[in-house]
Structure 1
Amino acid sequence: MSGAVGGAVAFEVPGVPGTPRGWGRRVVRWAADTVLVVVCALCGLVFLGLELDPASGPRVRGDAALVADVLLGLPATLALYARRRAPVLVAGVLVAVSVVSGFAAVPCLVALFGVAVRRRWPAVAALGAATVLVGVVYGLLWPDPEFPQWLLVLFLLALVVPVAGWGMYVRTRHQLVASLREQAETARAEQELRVQRARATERARIAREMHDVLAHRLSLVSMHAGALEFRPGAPAEDVARAAGVIRAGTHEALEDLRDILGVLRADAAAPGGEEVSGRPQPTLDDVPALVEEARAAGADVDLHLGVPDGARPPALAGRTAYRVVQEGMTNARKHAAGRPVRVLVDGAPGTGLEVSVVDDGAAAALAPSPGAAVPGAGLGLVGLAERVALAGGELEHGRTGGGYRLRARLPWPA
């Protein structure tokens, strides 16, 4: 549907009959129009031949009127070539010529059909009524005693009404096809947009996951490497233990990185936004192991689990709680190395799950040198806040005296 002129809608829909597509389609259309003009001209000649046939009864018009009929009707018939560009104008010309030319009767019906296909019903009704009226005037100008006037009116209505109705049906059909095509294009565009958004969301989730996992592992490695650098004369047992922790942490970091790259190579994310990984995702039950790993690295961590025995929070809440503890201890190693850290996990079904990581700000007994500080992007808490929000919870963080507190509240339905 290319537009509307004077309240009438013109159909120029790609792929719908009536719309040119290159020179090949235009040639085919021109050939079809030529065939149509020839057929209309033959119908006009047949109409005149019947009038000239002595067996059809006495002639109602003289030779001069018949010659004028042909001279007016033939050029008017050629106007059908322009019926697509100006359907109302062509139909109006043919209706006017039909007052004195029976040669233009069939082209007039063809033009009316074109108007019904390309214009709204008011224009179709006006031209249809004009066609019937012109036919009546033609019958009055050259009356046929064997064809009463009332029968002529019925005959004209029997021609005009089906032609106009058929044209309006074709127009409605074109509208439906154009609407369905537009809906399909819109749906395709929306689907592409959803895919792009899903990809962007997945990439952001992978980036947050990479920060959460690798920052925890690499902070352990950095802390032990800094301790070795700070104490070059440490006993061999301590050096061996620190080297073992570094090796194990590096190995775990590589494993986590392999899992994350596996997500990037996956064709699609799992339903519901769950991580696609070769290993099970952490839950609340893995928090003690996380704390023990930090303690083995030399951190002073006090863990308090207030969750009832046998009670398990939803998978999303448990995984988010694990990430909160992981991020809290990672930040403590980065910004409060050597300070005691308290980890509190408390909650029950129906009351929710609360997780907090607090360092008390006490002076460290042994801290790495400034050169061993772990760099950070400053986006860990941003990603963690989004993760907690997606789980339906709330995240709070800020200074408490000389220390820092990270606390999250997560839903735990009864």
Structure 2
Amino acid sequence: MTRTARPERHTWLFPSHLVEAARHDGAGPDQGRPRRTVRDWVVDTAIFLLAALVGVLAAETSAQYSSEVVNLVDQIVGGLACCAVWLRRRRPVGLAVTLCVVSVFAPTAGGALLAALFSVAVRRPFREVAWIGLLAVGTSTVQVFVRPEPGTSNILGIGIGVVLILLVTAWGMLVRSRRQLVEALRDRAVRAEAEAGLRAEQAQRQAREAIAREMHDVLAHRLTLLSVHAGALEFRPDAPPAQVARAAGVIRDSAHEALQDLREIIGVLRAPDEEGGAANRPQPTLVTLDSLVAEVREAGMKVVLDSTVTEPGAVPAATGRTVYRIAQEALTNARKHAPGAEVTLTLRGRPGEGLTLDVANPAPTGPVPHVPGSGQGLIGLTERATLAGGRLTHGPAPDGGFALHAWLPWPV
């Protein structure tokens, strides 16, 4: 009966005897013969010598009770049986069945039969091992009556044959179980290593995405200031010296702050919080929202902050940082798309009810200079709010302006 061979899995990780066992386990006789390694040659040679030794001992015992012709035939058959042991890797079942029949008439084939039974137990499932073992027990029993030894009782001869067959079969099944266990452990280790690599890659990708969002939120605000004031200098070269100096000072300060923020983000990559976080600048929270508003006011932007949160320090740091980033991005967008318009920030909330931030600005009254943007700021804010357990909506207002509404949880 021909069976389908198992697919080869990770054969480059397993020792040769495990790979060979996996290939032969359930494989039909038409499968290609694997190349023997040095270890395989050593094992096969040792088994051949043991089978020959057992055959020689049986031949010496049989010579005392048989004729010379019978002994000669017995020795020839025993020698051929020992040579057939070299086929145990390719034809374990066929070899075992043949030697079971041969051993009935040639006791010198007993050692080769034990080697064949061991190979079957190592390479075949239990069902085949069981019926071949029963066949070996039956033929060894018949041998006691076909080639009896006058000095040994039949019961003792049957008992010795059964014990030897059981010991060899159990040993082979133990070796098979150990090989399967080793193969399973190695396969599990390969899967665990692959899963660990995937988890590390996923964590690295998430860290990169978080860093990219953080860089966008931090640098977009600074670079927008640079773009706006550089554009003002370009379109008004005749501006008063004081106004030019003020714009140049804002450009210089914004560039300096952008570099500082960039160094901070890169520093997180070089020195994680658990190793050197104390040396990093503190992350913005709701407490620093007033500083953000004061900064944009100094840059010439009209901002009204209406907040009923009396203790911003009581807001969780993660929630406060998210509110800060949303307000920062909203002010950046208003500066780019509605320059000169007054922006209103309304902050409401209390523990248990959550924090609500509304940012609104009317439509611009004059021409709007083109300021390039990535278009990903509001998408990133929506993702940030969702990850924090809140929600964010935005869109054009009825008066032609723009409105943004965000809600974030504030646990008690």
Does residue 42 in structure 1 map to residue 53 in structure 2? yes
| CA distance in 1: counterparts of 2:204 and 2:408, whole angstroms | 27
1:63 partner letter: E
**1:403 corresponds to:** 401
Structure 1: gaps (5+ residues): 54-58
1:129 partner letter: L
Cα shift at 1:177 = 0.9
Cα shift at 1:377 = 0.8
| CA distance in 1: counterparts of 2:264 and 2:404, whole angstroms | 27
SS in 1 for 2:405: strand
Q: TM-score w.r.t. structure 1 length?
A: 0.88
Does residue 157 in structure 1 map to residue 162 in structure 2? yes
Is this contact kept in 1: 2:302–2:341, CA < 8 A?
Answer: yes
Equivalent residue in structure 2 for 1:318, among 309, 317, 320: 320
| CA distance in 1: counterparts of 2:90 and 2:60, whole angstroms | 33
**1:141 corresponds to:** 146
**1:112 corresponds to:** 117
Structure 1 runs of 4+ with >3 Å offset: 4-13, 16-21, 263-266
Does residue 239 in structure 1 map to residue 237 in structure 2? no
Q: What does the per-residue CA deviation read over 1:169-194, in whole Å, with 9 as the maximum and x for residues that have no partner?
A: 11111111111111111110011111
Aligned residue pair count: 394
**1:92 corresponds to:** 97
Going from structure 1 to structure 2, the CA distance change for 1:357 and 1:310 (only over 3 Å counts) comes to closer
Going from structure 1 to structure 2, the CA distance change for 1:343 and 1:25 (only over 3 Å counts) comes to farther
Cα shift at 1:250 = 0.7
SS in 2 for 1:85: coil
| CA distance in 2: counterparts of 1:200 and 1:376, whole angstroms | 24
**1:228 corresponds to:** 233
**1:56 corresponds to:** none
Equivalent residue in structure 2 for 1:290, among 289, 292, 297: 292
Q: TM-score w.r.t. structure 2 length?
A: 0.88
Give runs of aligned pairs for residues 295-306 of structure 1, distance below 5 A.
295-306=297-308
Cα shift at 1:44 = 0.6
Cα shift at 1:18 = 4.7
| CA distance in 2: counterparts of 1:225 and 1:10, whole angstroms | 67
Cα shift at 1:317 = 0.8
Structure 2: gaps (5+ residues): 22-33
**1:350 corresponds to:** 352
**2:179 corresponds to:** 174
Does residue 201 in structure 1 map to residue 209 in structure 2? no
Cα shift at 1:119 = 1.2
| CA distance in 1: counterparts of 2:4 and 2:175, whole angstroms | 19
Does residue 375 in structure 1 map to residue 375 in structure 2? no
| CA distance in 2: counterparts of 1:411 and 1:41, whole angstroms | 83
| CA distance in 1: counterparts of 2:161 and 2:237, whole angstroms | 112
Amino-acid identity (%): 44
Cα shift at 1:51 = 2.6
Is this contact kept in 1: 2:51–2:111, CA < 8 A?
Answer: yes
Going from structure 1 to structure 2, the CA distance change for 1:384 and 1:276 (only over 3 Å counts) comes to farther
Cα shift at 1:17 = 3.9
Cα shift at 1:135 = 0.9
Q: What does the per-residue CA deviation read over 1:188-217, in whole Å, with 9 as the maximum and x for residues that have no partner?
A: 001111111111111111111111111100
| CA distance in 2: counterparts of 1:160 and 1:115, whole angstroms | 12
Give runs of aligned pairs for residues 353-364 of structure 1, distance below 5 A.
353-361=355-363, 363-364=365-366
Cα shift at 1:163 = 1.5
2:411 partner letter: P
SS in 1 for 2:282: coil
| CA distance in 1: counterparts of 2:202 and 2:7, whole angstroms | 37
Q: Greater shift after overlay, 223-232 or 185-194?
A: 223-232
1:387 partner letter: R
Is this contact kept in 2: 1:10–1:118, CA < 8 A?
Answer: no
| CA distance in 1: counterparts of 2:346 and 2:385, whole angstroms | 17
Cα shift at 1:20 = 6.2
**1:327 corresponds to:** 329
Q: What does the per-residue CA deviation read over 1:243-291, in whole Å, with 9 as the maximum and x for residues that have no partner?
A: 111110010011112222334445xx658xxx99821111011111111
Is this contact kept in 1: 2:338–2:364, CA < 8 A?
Answer: no
Going from structure 1 to structure 2, the CA distance change for 1:91 and 1:125 (only over 3 Å counts) comes to same
1:357 partner letter: V
| CA distance in 2: counterparts of 1:154 and 1:83, whole angstroms | 26
**2:42 corresponds to:** 31
Cα shift at 1:302 = 0.7
| CA distance in 2: counterparts of 1:158 and 1:227, whole angstroms | 102
Is this contact kept in 2: 1:37–1:78, CA < 8 A?
Answer: yes
| CA distance in 2: counterparts of 1:170 and 1:342, whole angstroms | 78
SS in 2 for 1:298: coil
SS in 1 for 2:195: helix
| CA distance in 2: counterparts of 1:11 and 1:380, whole angstroms | 50
Going from structure 1 to structure 2, the CA distance change for 1:157 and 1:407 (only over 3 Å counts) comes to same
**2:383 corresponds to:** 386
| CA distance in 2: counterparts of 1:98 and 1:276, whole angstroms | 82
| CA distance in 2: counterparts of 1:382 and 1:277, whole angstroms | 32
| CA distance in 2: counterparts of 1:8 and 1:264, whole angstroms | 50
| CA distance in 2: counterparts of 1:335 and 1:79, whole angstroms | 90
| CA distance in 1: counterparts of 2:283 and 2:384, whole angstroms | 15
Is this contact kept in 2: 1:20–1:26, CA < 8 A?
Answer: no
Going from structure 1 to structure 2, the CA distance change for 1:310 and 1:219 (only over 3 Å counts) comes to closer
